[in-house]
Amino acid sequence: MKAIYLCEKKGNIAYVYGPRERQRLAPYAGEAVYSLEEAARSPEARQAEAIFSTWGMPHLEEAEIPRLFPNLRAVFYAAGSVQHFAAPFLNRNIAVFSAWQANAVPVAEYTVAQMALAAKGYFRVQALCRQSRQDAARAAGSYPGMYEIKIGLLGMGAVGRRVADMLRAYECTVLACDPYAPAEVFEKTGAIPATMEDIFRECHIVSNHLPNLPATRGVITREMLFSMREGATFLNTGRGPQLREEDLYDLLREKPGTTALLDVLTDEADSDENPLNRLPNCFITPHIAGSMGNEVHRMARYMADEFFRWQAGQKPMWQVTAEMLSTMA
């Protein structure tokens, strides 16, 4: 079977597909990495039955696919969201596989780590400690820790489910809201179905994992934010447009005991100029929750494993369907 690496950011292939996975795939994909323009000129690339890619996968119009890749049967995407490229392939009955579950692992780990720190008041207390250890210790006394607190999850996709599973070890109560998640998801994770309004009003920590879809933009209202309890923490590793940042800014100004931990913003290109960046109770990180460093090799392993399952006619684990696109991040 002939396969190729296709990516507009060609260095990402070497970054994501580590030496072990490149060696496993070498008999099929060789070493060459093609941009779309290079693939269009290559008779060898034209023979590809499978494409391996990652961040930088080009978007192809549906009519371009049979012209450029007449033998193509599958795309293996060693990254998360496939929204920007998958539909034309699926419309032509070309299988699409994604490492979205692999990318969920570090996001969930990052999220739970921040939750454990937030429940101790770490983010507020650490800043106070620079001024007065006594004031910091006094402030820390108002935080509950992780035991028997309420934590709210917005979205029970790959990340939300994994977070809920990990929180079992902390003996806390997990409330979750996801209109698309079947009942068995809540049963398996132990999360309690709740409305977004209840989650913001009752929980010590609220974590956003909603997919970035038109239906989810602006769903976190000003009223929800301002209903948060004293000393609560809002954590966002999902996407920025689920709320209006002006509302969050006002909340953090008016309720300085509230903390926001934001790994995503509505406009990440101009984050340095974002007013939230100047607030002492808002902590912004540059989209580091997802796979990075050695973690990216996990995504390549998922796709290599999936390729060999698919080639052997075995049941796939990480296939994306057209129906899934309506609710996936």
> Considering the domain boundaries, does residue 236 fall inside one?
yes
Judge whether residue 329 has pLDDT over 80. Answer: no
Mean pLDDT of the 154-161 span:
94
CATH of the domain at 153: 3.40.50.720
Q: What is the mean pLDDT of residues 52-65?
A: 97
**Beta-strand (E) ranges in the chain?**
3-6, 33-34, 50-53, 74-77, 95-98, 150-154, 173-177, 192-193, 205-208, 233-236, 259-262, 282-284, 319-320
Return d(Cα 236, Cα 244) in angstroms, integer: 13
Secondary structure letter of residue 97 according to DSSP: E
Q: Which domain holds residue 39?
A: 3-102+293-326
The pLDDT value recorded for residue 270 is 67
Beta strand spans in 150-291 (E): 150-154, 173-177, 192-193, 205-208, 233-236, 259-262, 282-284
Same domain, 277 and 305: no
The tokens for 263 are 């790994």
End-to-end CA distance of the chain: 31
Give residue 214's pLDDT: 84
Let me know if residue 109 belongs to a domain: no
Task: Kindly state whether residues 44 and 160 are assigned to the same domain.
Answer: no
**pLDDT tens column, 102-131:** 999 999 999 999 999 999 999 999 988 888
> In this predicted model, what pLDDT tens digit does every residue of 190-234 receive, in sequence order?
999 999 999 999 999 999 999 888 888 899 999 999 999 999 999
Position 22 in a domain: yes
Kindly list the distances between the CA atom of residue 244 and the CA atoms of 2, 240, 241, 272, 276, in Å, as whole numbers in the listed order. 47, 8, 7, 18, 12
Q: For residues 214 and 170, state if they share a domain.
A: yes
Q: For residues 78 and 136, state if they share a domain.
A: no
Tell me, yes or no, whether 154 and 301 share the same domain. Answer: no
Q: Is residue 157 part of a domain?
A: yes
- Check whether residue 167 and residue 255 sit in a common domain: yes
19 Cβ neighbours under 8 A, 6+ residues apart: none
Summarised one tens digit per residue, pLDDT across range 232-266 is: 999 999 888 899 999 999 999 999 999 999 999 98
Prediction pTM value: 0.88
In this prediction, residue 240 carries a pLDDT of 81
Residues 202 and 127 occupy one common structural domain: yes
Question: Does a structural domain hold residue 115?
Answer: no
**Structural domains counted in the chain:** 2
Cα gap 236→153, rounded to integer Å: 10
Contacts of 278 (CB under 8 A, 6+ apart): none
Q: Is 108 domain-assigned?
A: no
**What are 277-323's pLDDT values in tens digits?**
999 999 999 999 999 999 999 999 999 999 999 999 999 999 999 98
273/252: higher pLDDT:
252
Residues 13, 159: one domain?
Answer: no
275 with 300, same domain: the answer is: no
136 & 267 share domain:
yes
Residues 31 and 61 in one domain: yes
Q: Where are the alpha helices (DSSP H) in 214-282?
A: 222-226, 245-254
Q: How far apart are CA 36 and CA 58, in angstroms?
A: 7
- Tell me what pLDDT residue 213 has: 81
Q: What is the pLDDT of residue 325?
A: 84
Please report whether residue 194 resides in a domain: yes
Pairing label, strands 95-98, 319-320: antiparallel
78 and 214 share one domain:
no
Residue 35 belongs to a domain = yes
pLDDT in tens, 90-110: 999 999 999 999 999 999 999
For residue 267, pLDDT over 90 is answered with no
